[in-house]
């Protein structure tokens, strides 16, 4: 079945540091890939997505590129802010699985001033 493996956390960075959160996946079909973010006390929000190989999703300075050859979708940001402190979830959704999503375990990011 489908699965998503995320870099284990927690991750603690200083403001303006570079961020990379690794994500790899296995899927039987041709999935779409997503990063969701969960700020403290809130529900999940879509951060960015990519629907086919070599697509790059971007939002709020975050980027991730759909790499089919390495089955990866790593999340990157060049300069993090304190407001980026949250839990980040990598996910995939496969049309062959009735639109259901499979989530990684989440990575907690804390950015210190």
Partner 1 sequence: SAVISQKPSRDICQRGTSLTIQCQVDSQVTMMFWYRQQPGQSLTLIATANQGSEATYESGFVIDKFPISRPNLTFSTLTVSNMSPEDSSIYLCSVGRDISNNEQFFGPGTRLTVL
Stretch that binds partner 1, among 17-25, 64-72, 74-82, 103-111 (CB under 8 A): 103-111
Helix, strand, or coil (residue 84): helix
Encoded one letter per residue, x for contact with partner 1 by CB under 8 A and - for no contact, window 25-54 reads -------x-x-x-----xxxxx--x-----
Of the candidates 46, 47, 99, 91, which has an alpha carbon nearest to the alpha carbon of residue 73?
Answer: 91
CB of 79 to partner 1, least distance (A): 27
3 binds partner 1 (CB under 8 A): no
Nearer to partner 1 by C-beta: 46 or 53?
A: 46
Among 40, 70, 98, 113, binds partner 1 (CB under 8 A): 98
44 burial type by CB count under 10 A (0-12 exposed, 13-18 middle, 19+ buried) = middle
CB of 16 to partner 1, least distance (A): 28
Q: Which residues bind partner 1 (CB under 8 A)?
A: 32, 34, 36, 42-46, 49, 89, 93-95, 98-101, 103-106
């Amino acid at each position: 079945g489908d699965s998503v493996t995320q870099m284990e956390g927690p991750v603690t960075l200083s403001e303006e540091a570079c961020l990379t959160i690794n994500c790899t996946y296995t899927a039987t079909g041709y999935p779409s890939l997503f990063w969701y973010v969960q700020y403290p006390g809130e529900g999940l929000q879509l951060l960015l997505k990519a629907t086919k190989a070599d697509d790059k999703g971007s939002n709020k300075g975050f980027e991730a590129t759909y790499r089919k050859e390495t089955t990866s979708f790593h999340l990157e940001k060049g300069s993090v802010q304190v407001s980026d402190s949250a839990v980040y979830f990598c996910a995939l959704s496969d049309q062959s699985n009735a639109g259901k999503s499979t989530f990684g375990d989440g990575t907690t990011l804390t950015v210190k001033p």
